[in-house]
Structure 1
Amino acid sequence: MVTASVVGLIATAGFIGALGILIKHFGMVQLIAGYDPDRVTDVEGLAEFVGTNVLYVAALVLLVAVVEATAPDRSDSVWIAFVAGVGLLAVRMIRGARRYESDE
């Protein structure tokens, strides 16, 4: 059943997905929080890495929307997995983005 929360989740997934596409395919690295052009040594690599991970987050949000729509009784466990997944992806992005920066 499509509820307001499902519609909101789909809209959120679309927004996050659009950000991921802008970063990955259009190189808009200025959308990355903490981006410092003076420290980044590989702009294209950073855009590819962070953009891909942002698209993973969008996919997780979309997965939660599908579960909310098809099996709302399982949504609690899916939300817990979602929070864990987003947390792990955030850590991965923060640590992985350092590969594309200089130490100076």
Structure 2
Amino acid sequence: MLALGYLIRYRGRVDLIAGYDEKKVRDPEGLARFVGTNLLLLGAGAFVILALEFLLPTYAVVFFAVYALAAVPAVSLLTVWGSRRFETGR
């Protein structure tokens, strides 16, 4: 996620975004910043969860479940909904 986030956010590789269609996007730079930043946040969150799992192994399953069942879906939905503002005709 960190590598993809970096490529999209800082290198402008919007072609790496699933479902990207240049005909439907009015601001590819803005979309790259938005999606790339969200991927970087998810990647950083994964590292935080990994660190917590090493520090508190008793709660490893809980940390993973919170990340996988709450953080990833929440950020994913926000990314999909937020990306709509970069579409043409909106």
**Partners of 2:89 and 2:64 in 1: how far apart?**
37
The equivalent residue for 1:6 is none
Find the aligned partners of 2:11 and 2:21 in 1 and give their Cα distance. 18
**Structure 2 residue runs without a partner (length 5+):** none
Which stretches of structure 1, 4 residues or longer, exceed 2 Å deviation after superposition? Answer: none
Residue 93 of structure 1 aligns with which residue? 79
Alignment of 1:29-68 (within 5 A): 29-68=14-53
* Structure 1 segments unaligned to the other structure (5+ residues): 1-15
State the superposition RMSD in angstroms. Answer: 1.3
Comparing 69-78 with 53-62, greater Cα deviation is found at: 69-78
> CA deviation digits over 1:47-75, x for unaligned, max 9?
00000000011011101210121111111
What count of residue pairs does the alignment treat as equivalent? 89
- CA shift, 1:81, in A, is 1.4
Query: AA paired with 2:82?
Result: G
Structure 1 residue 80: Cα displacement = 1.9
Per the normalisation by structure 2, the TM-score is 0.93
Specify the code of the residue in structure 2 equivalent to 1:70: L
Q: For residues 74 and 32 of structure 1, what CA distance do their matches in structure 2 show?
A: 34
Percent identity, aligned pairs only, is 38
Aligned residue identity for 1:74: Y
The answer for the alignment partner of 1:9 in structure 2 is none
TM-score (normalised: structure 1)? 0.81
